[in-house]
A and B are shown apart, each in its own frame.
With several copies, the nearest count.
Chain A
Amino acid sequence: MKLKNVSRYLSPYVYIVPAIAVFVLFLFFPFIKTIYLSLFKTNKMGQAKLFVGGGNYSDLFSSASFFNSLFVTAIFVLIVVSVSMLLGLITAILCNQSFPGIRIFSTAYALPMAIASSSAAMIFKIMLHPTIGIINKLLGLHTNWISDPRYALVCVALLSAWLNSGINFLYFSAGLSNIDNTLYERASVDGANSAQKFFRLTLPGLSPIMFYTLVVNIIQAFQAFGQVKVLTMGGPGESTNLIVYSIYRDAFFNYRFGSAAAQSVILFMVIMILTLCMFHLEKKGVHY
């Protein structure tokens, strides 16, 4: 009897053990190390050398460059998330009804995800090139897309949005397929037109997955890296110096692991707070 109770008590944990084990070993443990490092100045090997306590943090908070990174990142995330979710949603809805060729189209919509961000950036780099780039040629412009601080961030953001739109399409499609068809039936008998069905049924029905997509998109946008590295390297000036790129630069380039670690921790905190806010909102807003 007692044994049975113990197993009953433990069984929920058994299901999460495989996941947690990997997390602990490869994420929590190293991240705690990172937090530790963020309290130090490091040598070129990335080893803690000089304890500075909050020194790295206060350095960051007095650095215009860091605030620029945060600001740029915020704008980047905003554009990426809104555009990619919109693209994903539009394409998912376009492919929600059956019509000839649907499989081809849905493949097309998901395709951007099949490309690694650095490969995609390579393609975009050529497309956006002011002289040989197809975009300028098609539009008859001579815009210097990625060397102009006005456009560079938008370009990187649109590239990322394009990349993410594929997986968002998949998520939304999967979400749509989860909505019970009889609800649509009832709604149409109730007199709801397509738009009303969309706003009153589809969107709420998608809300769990919408929430998921939002959270994941935000988190991933915050961590976008490959495209920046290939396309702009943080430039022009620091106009695309996203925080993750800045972390990368400090850690792997500038021999400042301490600062990079501190930025990682701050980034973590920022995302964490954002996510907590979203979960809080979910409890209120997301249905089911």
Chain B
Amino acid sequence: MASLSLVNVCKTFKNGQIAVKDFNLDIKDEEFLILVGPSGCGKSTTLRMIAGLEEISSGELWIDGALMNLTVPQKRDLAMVFQSYALYPHLTVYENIAFSLRVRNIPQIEIEERVKKAADILCIRHLLDRKPFALSGGQKQRVAIGSVIVRKPKAYLMDEPLSNLDAKLRTQMRVELSKIHKELGATIIYVTHDQVEAMTLGTKIVVMNAGVIQQAAPPEVLYNNPVNKFVAGFIGSPSMNFIPVWVERREERICIVFSNNRLFLNEDNAHCLIESGYLGRRVYLGIRPEDFHETGPKEQAIKLKVEIKEVLGSDILLHGKIGGNPICGRLKPDFPSEAGTEVSIFADMNRILLFDLDTEENILDH
């Protein structure tokens, strides 16, 4: 497959909208790159620039060492699943999937074989004779995926390819994509809003915001060591809780203080804070909902007035406020709590994050 490289890529639309700004990224061969970011942050636009569907306003796009800025899409040898499916309404499912093979004059027999195989993977074998209008949303989406996985392009571009599938099918598809990635050694660039997909599929995740890359790193790094508050808040669901706190020295130990609470930091973090001169200053404390526990040392207890309790089955989510900041904790379903009551929960102090109040950058470095 291929490696890609984007250098200082920018995209400004005709109406002045800047969709992508100074995008720099090397995508190695066989990488499974995930693009995530809030709606409208420029993910699709980036994909479309790589595919050649949008002109690159400035910057360079290299594919396998060749500058591709002005190459027409059909010469780039990429395959793309469109966010809007883009099925050919006049072709049957079979022909939709076979289309890209037909235009390459691949022998009939091979086409048949590959299409059937793709259809089996996607569980749409029984739909091959239908026209798109007679398909459900999820079925359409699978056809769109099918028309891409029959090919062996330099890279696959996939724009939210599983968004309309049910959880079970999605898991299944995830496994299939993972297989394709491994078996073919495919380079894949993949846009998703699904955290699980992002975390499980990606060898690298790129977090974008308003057209700018925030962080590009392997999933665990991103999760455990986000570069800034945005990434920290964006990755993880429900998202991380943020509370502005004072860094103080109490009882000979470094602690963070906020609305009647006082949590002691662990050694490493305390050291780190002192070194970078945050003592006595305000920072953001970040705690993921799942890093709240039901039990812990009494003096570290955080009191939370439960406003809403959401039962997810495997867990419960407790929502409340601390010092005006919304807080969400994910706890075991058997944790005794009811909306309206006050509970004590405990933060895992080894997993907390702290961010600069102004730059919002991560202070600690796990």
Contacts and interface: CB of A to CB of B under 8 A. Distances in A.
Does a CB–CB distance below 8 Å link A and B in the complex?
A: yes
A183 B86 contact: yes
Contacts of B46: none
Interface in A33-73: none
Contacts of B99: 187, 190, 192, 200
A180 B85 CA distance: 12
Contacts of A205: 90
Interface in A179-217: 180, 182-183, 185-193, 196, 200-201, 204-205, 207
Interface string B257-289: 000000000000000000000000000000000
A191 B90 contact: no
B52 to A, nearest CB: 7
Interface string B64-90: 000000101110111110101010111
Nearest to B77: A191
B103 A191 contact: yes
Given A182-B82, A187-B99, A200-B99, A287 B74 contact: no
Interface string B102-137: 111000000000000000000000000000000000
B156 to A, nearest CB: 11
Contact of B74 (A180, A193, A200, A207): A193
Interface residues of B, number: 28
B72 A288 contact: no
A189 B53 contact: yes
Contacts of B215: none
Contacts of B225: none
B103 A196 contact: yes
A190 B80 CA distance: 8
A189 B78 contact: yes
A5 interface: yes
A284 interface: no
Nearest to B104: A191
Interface string A131-152: 0000000000000000000000
B88 A183 contact: yes
Nearest to B147: A190
A5 B151 CA distance: 27
B4 interface: no
A185 B102 contact: no
B192 interface: no
Contacts of A287: 89-91
Contacts of A283: none
A185 B73 contact: yes
Contacts of B51: 185, 189
B241 interface: no
A204 B90 CA distance: 7
Interface string A211-232: 0000000000000000000000
Q: Which of B72, B88, B100, B102 has the most A CB atoms < 10 Å from its CB?
A: B88
A2 interface: no
A205 B74 CA distance: 20
A205 B90 CA distance: 8
A188 B102 CA distance: 13
Nearest to A191: B74
A1 to B, nearest CB: 9
A288 B80 contact: no
B140 to A, nearest CB: 13
Nearest to A207: B90
B84 A182 contact: yes
A146 B48 CA distance: 58
A97 to B, nearest CB: 13
Interface string B38-52: 000000000010011
Contact of A189 (B80, B89, B90, B91): B80
Interface of A: 5, 8, 180, 182-183, 185-193, 196, 200-201, 204-205, 207, 287-288
Given A189-B80, A190-B79, A196-B103, 9 more contacts: A180-B86, A183-B86, A186-B88, A188-B72, A190-B74, A190-B151, A200-B99, A201-B88, A287-B90
30 contacts: A5-B70, A8-B70, A183-B88, A185-B48, A185-B51, A186-B82, A186-B86, A187-B99, A187-B103, A188-B74, A189-B53, A189-B79, A189-B157, A190-B99, A190-B100, A190-B151, A191-B77, A191-B100, A191-B103, A191-B104, A192-B103, A193-B103, A196-B103, A200-B103, A201-B88, A205-B90, A207-B90, A287-B89, A287-B91, A288-B90
